[in-house]
Amino acid sequence: MSFFDDVAFQFIDGEWRSGSGSWDIVDFNPYNGEKLASIPVATAEEIDQAYRAAERAQREWAEVNPYTRRLVFERALKIVDAREAELSDAIAAEVGGTHAKVGFELHLVREFLREAMQLALRAEGRILPSPIDGKENRLYRLPVGVVGVISPFNFPLLLSMKSVAPAIALGNAVVLKPHQNTPICGGGLVAKIFEEAGLPAGVLNVVVTDIAEIGDALIEHPVPRVISFTGSEKVGRHVATVAAAHFKHAVLELGGNSALVVLDDADLDYAVDAAVFSRFVHQGQVCMAANRVLVDRAVEREFTEKFVAKVASLKVGDPVDPQTHIGPLINEGQAEAVSAMVGRAVAEGATALVHGETRGTLVAPSVLGDVPQDSWILGQEIFGPVVLLVPFDGDEEAVRLTNATPYGLSGAVHTADIERGVRFAKRIETGMIHINDGTVHDEPIVPFGGEKSSGVGRLNGDAVVEAFTTTKWISIQHGRSRFPF
User: Residue 377 — φ and ψ, nearest 5°?
Assistant: -70, -25
Closest listed residue to residue 236, CA positions, set 8, 462, 395, 455: 455
Give the residues across from 176 on adjacent strands. 149, 206
Q: What is the mean pLDDT of the chain?
A: 97
Q: First and final CA of the chain: distance in angstroms?
A: 74
User: Residue 16 — φ and ψ, nearest 5°?
Assistant: -85, 120
Query: Sorting pLDDT into bands at 50, 70 and 90, what band is 146?
Result: very high
Q: For residues 236 and 234, give the distance between their C-alpha atoms in angstroms, rounded to a whole number.
A: 5
User: Residue 369 — φ and ψ, nearest 5°?
Assistant: -115, 180
Catalytic residue among 185, 287, 300, 381: 287
Q: Is 287 a catalytic residue?
A: yes
Q: For residues 108 and 303, give the distance between their C-alpha atoms in angstroms, rounded to a whole number.
A: 31
Query: Sorting pLDDT into bands at 50, 70 and 90, what band is 13?
Result: very high
- Given a cut of 60, whether residue 474 has pLDDT beyond it is yes
Domains, the chain, with CATH or none: 2-254+454-473 (3.40.605.10), 258-435 (3.40.309.10)
Query: Sorting pLDDT into bands at 50, 70 and 90, what band is 468?
Result: very high
Average pLDDT over residues 173-186: 98
Q: Which residue type does 291 have?
A: N
Share of the chain above pLDDT 90, in %: 98
> What is the side-by-side order of every strand in the sheet holding 249-253?
15-17, 10-12, 204-206, 173-177, 146-150, 226-230, 249-253, 455-456
- Given a cut of 80, whether residue 2 has pLDDT beyond it is no
Closest listed residue to residue 231, CA positions, set 148, 330, 151: 151
Distance of CA 185 to the CA centre of its chain: 14
Q: What is the DSSP string of 133-151?
A: TTEEEEEEEEE-SEEEEE-
Catalytic residue among 253, 305, 357, 443: 253
Closest listed residue to residue 297, CA positions, set 261, 351, 270, 346: 261
Output the CA torsion sign for 457, 463, 468, 474: negative
- pLDDT (tens digit, 9 = 90+) per residue, 81-106? 999 999 999 999 999 999 999 999 99
- pLDDT (tens digit, 9 = 90+) per residue, 289-333? 999 999 999 999 999 999 999 999 999 999 999 999 999 999 999
User: What angle is formed at CA 226 by the lines to CA 220 and CA 232, rounded to 5 degrees?
Assistant: 80
Q: For residues 295 and 367, give the distance between their C-alpha atoms in angstroms, rounded to a whole number.
A: 14
What contacts 396, CB < 8 A, 6 or more positions away? none
- pLDDT in the model for residue 40: 97
- pLDDT in the model for residue 192: 97
What contacts 253, CB < 8 A, 6 or more positions away? 159, 229, 230, 231, 287, 448, 449, 450, 454, 455, 459
Distance of CA 136 to the CA centre of its chain: 41
> What is the side-by-side order of every strand in the sheet holding 135-143?
126-128, 135-143, 469-477
- Given a cut of 70, whether residue 1 has pLDDT beyond it is no
The H or E element spanning position 68 is helix 66-82
- pLDDT (tens digit, 9 = 90+) per residue, 130-143? 999 999 999 999 99
- pLDDT in the model for residue 271: 98
- pLDDT in the model for residue 3: 82
Alpha carbon separation from 186 to 63, 94, 332, 333 (Å, rounded): 28, 10, 20, 20
Average pLDDT over residues 225-239: 97
Instruction: Check if the beta carbon of residue 227 is closer than 8 Å to that of residue 251.
Output: yes
Query: Sorting pLDDT into bands at 50, 70 and 90, what band is 45?
Result: very high
- pLDDT (tens digit, 9 = 90+) per residue, 401-419? 999 999 999 999 999 999 9
- Given a cut of 70, whether residue 362 has pLDDT beyond it is yes
The H or E element spanning position 326 is none
